[in-house]
A and B are shown apart, each in its own frame.
Chain A
Amino acid sequence: MRALGIQKSPMPGFALGMGITMTMLSLIVVLPVGALLAQGAGYGLENVWTTVNTPRVWAALYLSFRLAFFAALFNLAFGTLLAWVLARYDFPGRRLVDAFVDLPFALPTAVAGIALTALYAPNGVFGGIARELGGKIAYTQWGILVALIFVGLPFVTRTVQPVIAEIEQEVEEASATLGAERFYTLRRVILPMLLPAALTGFALSLARAVGEYGSVIFIAGNLPLKTEIAPLLIVIKLEEFDYDGAAAIGIAMLLISFSMLLAINLIQIWSRRRIGHV
């Protein structure tokens, strides 16, 4: 026990708790992810690179990442607005709306996928409007963007809203007393306080959107090089029994996820240093 750095504790259940935790963690997370990395290692680094370094895979990775970024950017702006409205203004049904914001988390992705497709397909309600205007949403990159906005919508609101609620109004009063216009106060006083939380929400929304599959495949059209997302390529490789190829793309996606996880942690460390809490 001492060797593991465990302090003596009167609390019982360490062995049992740690045992369950480690067993589950190994079986569910560590061993499968290890198997993925081992498959890549067995395939060889060079082969992994050759598989990833093809126009179709690059196009899919670039598409997934780019659209996830734009969706997260939209959610950053709209999510912050939503958080502000919910935290600061009172209007009839505010609590109901507040609860409703989490619907994208509660609605299964496949359900969201077919619902969005029905809405934005050329014969759907919004798709019909787009067709009138000479545009197309479903089965194009716009459709993917819509789906990614949907699945990531609550993240920014849920990270920013508590921070707004905690802002002390004295700060705003001080700013106003010193002659600042309301908009100037919002831009130069409030916004910097919300930034770390908003960025965390942005990163969470981005990470979710990059790996998203269920809500996207119905609306995407899935045309190679155009509307084919990275997770779909893995599914295609698996259907062809190309386990090495699937593992190569899987490892590439894993690397993207890990770098984003790292980014989230850096944002949080940075903001903790700057304002003392997240």
Chain B
Amino acid sequence: MSDGTQTLPAKWRPVTEESRPVRIALIAAALAGLAVLVLAPLVVVFAEALARGAAEAVASLVQPDARAAVKLTLLVAAVAVPVNAVFGIAAAWTITKFDFRGKAFLITLIDLPFSISPVVAGLALVLLFGTNSLVGGWLVASGFPIIFALPGIVLATIFVTFPFVARELIPVMIEQGRAEEEAALTLGASGWRAFLTVTLPNIKWALLYGVLLCNARAMGEFGAVAVVSGKIRGQTATMPITIEMMYNEYLSVAAFSLAAVLALLGLLTLALKTVLEWRHADQLAASRRH
């Protein structure tokens, strides 16, 4: 019995495994399902964009509407993402470094935007800041309209991406505890110094991960932005909104070319996210294991 493997029958397999044909069938079913459900839509974006050649696809991207859309989307993300990062850090710091009543309720409130339809989110912003509301009427009268203008788009984008950074940071910071910061403070570091030299290095990969997901959603948001933007061509039409307008005008190549740019961004996000998960799994910790 010293060499057990030789006495095993040829068709031996561990009891905790399925037989080979079953395994192959399950893998095939999973891959086929993914190919049809996920890969095919991705491929079709690029196929439709290049349907009349690469030259026409590129030409449709440099026309004024498309360029204005790209600029606006970049601008919105450039405002919304840092705001969310600051909020996420502040919220995670408050929630994980202090004990206070109502913490669970606060976390529920932060998570709330994930369970609200983007269209309802847009509607809520219109009702708060639209011209027919008290606040909105006053803001429009003072020459600072929010709805059908840039601030509304930014607010809608912040709403739908609200929980991303905080959700990523909170589990990581809970796991890391407070001891290191307390040690730094005991040794005389100021609060800011403790945050910058102790906390921030500990959470940087989780922060980057949250910012990455937040940015992808910010650049791609459609429902909430569609409601508050007013869809003014060249002014309040972000990339997804412009894609819709082009598509409805049967400008297929233009719509799919712009969509291909967003799809590439999505793929890039996926790639960076995967690299972070492989390289820094230990520091993303809890939220990825959950």
Let me know if B115 and A207 touch, CB within 8 A: yes
CB interface residues, B 72-113, toward A, < 8 Å: 83, 86-87, 90-91, 93-94, 97-102, 106, 109-110, 112-113
Contacts A106-B216, A108-B222, A111-B243 given; indicate if A78 touches B33 (C-beta within 8 A). Answer: yes
Let me know if B42 and A115 touch, CB within 8 A: yes
Chain B residues closer than 8 Å to A257, beta-carbon distance? 115-117, 120
Chain B residues closer than 8 Å to A7, beta-carbon distance? 98-100
CB interface residues, A 104-132, toward B, < 8 Å: 104-116, 118-119, 124-126
Q: Answer whether residue B123 sits at the interface, using C-beta atoms and an 8 A cutoff.
A: yes
Contacts A18-B94, A254-B116 given; indicate if A32 touches B124 (C-beta within 8 A). Answer: yes
Complex Cα–Cα for A44 and B192 (A) = 50
Chain A residues closer than 8 Å to B243, beta-carbon distance? 110-111, 114
Complex Cα–Cα for A149 and B37 (A) = 8
Complex Cα–Cα for A84 and B216 (A) = 28
Let me know if B116 and A31 touch, CB within 8 A: no
Complex Cα–Cα for A159 and B290 (A) = 7
Q: Answer whether residue B172 sits at the interface, using C-beta atoms and an 8 A cutoff.
A: no
Interface of A is mostly: helix
CB interface residues, B 108-148, toward A, < 8 Å: 109-110, 112-121, 123-128, 130, 132-133
Complex: chain B residue closest to A21, CB-CB: B91
Let me know if B99 and A114 touch, CB within 8 A: no
Q: Answer whether residue A253 sits at the interface, using C-beta atoms and an 8 A cutoff.
A: yes
Q: How far is the CB of B109 from chain A (nearest CB, A)?
A: 6
CB interface residues, A 54-97, toward B, < 8 Å: 78, 81-82, 84-86, 89, 91, 95, 97
Q: How far is the CB of B166 from chain A (nearest CB, A)?
A: 9
Chain A interface bracket (under 10, 10 to 19, 20 to 34, 35 or more) = 35 or more
Contacts A99-B270, A108-B262, A110-B243 given; indicate if A172 touches B15 (C-beta within 8 A). Answer: yes
Cβ contacts B24-44/A at 8 Å (1 or 0 each):
001101110110111111101
Let me know if B127 and A35 touch, CB within 8 A: yes
Let me know if B182 and A10 touch, CB within 8 A: yes
Q: Answer whether residue A269 sits at the interface, using C-beta atoms and an 8 A cutoff.
A: no
Contact segment of B3-11, B56-64, B154-162: B154-162
Chain B residues closer than 8 Å to A260, beta-carbon distance? 115
Let me know if A31 and B31 touch, CB within 8 A: no
CB interface residues, B 236-269, toward A, < 8 Å: 239-241, 243-244, 247, 255-256, 259, 262-263, 266-267, 269
Q: Answer whether residue A45 sits at the interface, using C-beta atoms and an 8 A cutoff.
A: no
Complex Cα–Cα for A257 and B274 (A) = 31
Set B40, B83, B121: member contacting A126, Cβ < 8 A: B40
Let me know if A5 and B100 touch, CB within 8 A: yes
CB interface residues, B 200-246, toward A, < 8 Å: 213, 216, 219-223, 226-227, 239-241, 243-244
Complex Cα–Cα for A100 and B189 (A) = 44
Query: Number of residues in B with C-beta < 8 Å to the partner?
Result: 102
Let me know if A119 and B94 touch, CB within 8 A: no
Q: Answer whether residue B16 sits at the interface, using C-beta atoms and an 8 A cutoff.
A: yes
Let me know if A20 and B90 touch, CB within 8 A: yes
Q: Answer whether residue B18 sits at the interface, using C-beta atoms and an 8 A cutoff.
A: yes
Contacts A6-B99, A7-B99, A119-B44 given; indicate if A109 touches B222 (C-beta within 8 A). Answer: yes
**Can you name 20 extra interface pairs (CB under 8 A) apart from A99-B270, A119-B40?**
A6-B98, A6-B99, A13-B97, A17-B91, A17-B93, A17-B97, A25-B109, A28-B158, A35-B133, A36-B123, A78-B37, A95-B278, A97-B31, A99-B271, A107-B263, A125-B44, A126-B40, A207-B114, A231-B118, A247-B127
Chain B interfacial positions (CB closer than 8 Å to A): 15-19, 23, 26-27, 29-31, 33-34, 36-42, 44-45, 48, 83, 86-87, 90-91, 93-94, 97-102, 106, 109-110, 112-121, 123-128, 130, 132-133, 155, 158-159, 162, 178, 181-182, 185, 190-191, 194-195, 213, 216, 219-223, 226-227, 239-241, 243-244, 247, 255-256, 259, 262-263, 266-267, 269-271, 273-274, 277-278, 288-290
Chain A interfacial positions (CB closer than 8 Å to B): 4-7, 9-14, 16-21, 24-25, 27-36, 38-39, 78, 81-82, 84-86, 89, 91, 95, 97, 99-116, 118-119, 124-126, 149-150, 153, 159, 162, 169, 172-173, 176-177, 182, 207, 210-214, 218, 230-232, 234-235, 238, 243, 246-247, 250, 253-254, 257-258, 260-261, 278
Which 6 pairs from chain A and chain B are nearest by CB?
A: A211-B117, A108-B220, A12-B191, A176-B15, A5-B101, A214-B222
8 contacts between A and B (CB under 8 A): A9-B98, A20-B87, A82-B34, A176-B16, A235-B119, A253-B117, A254-B116, A258-B115
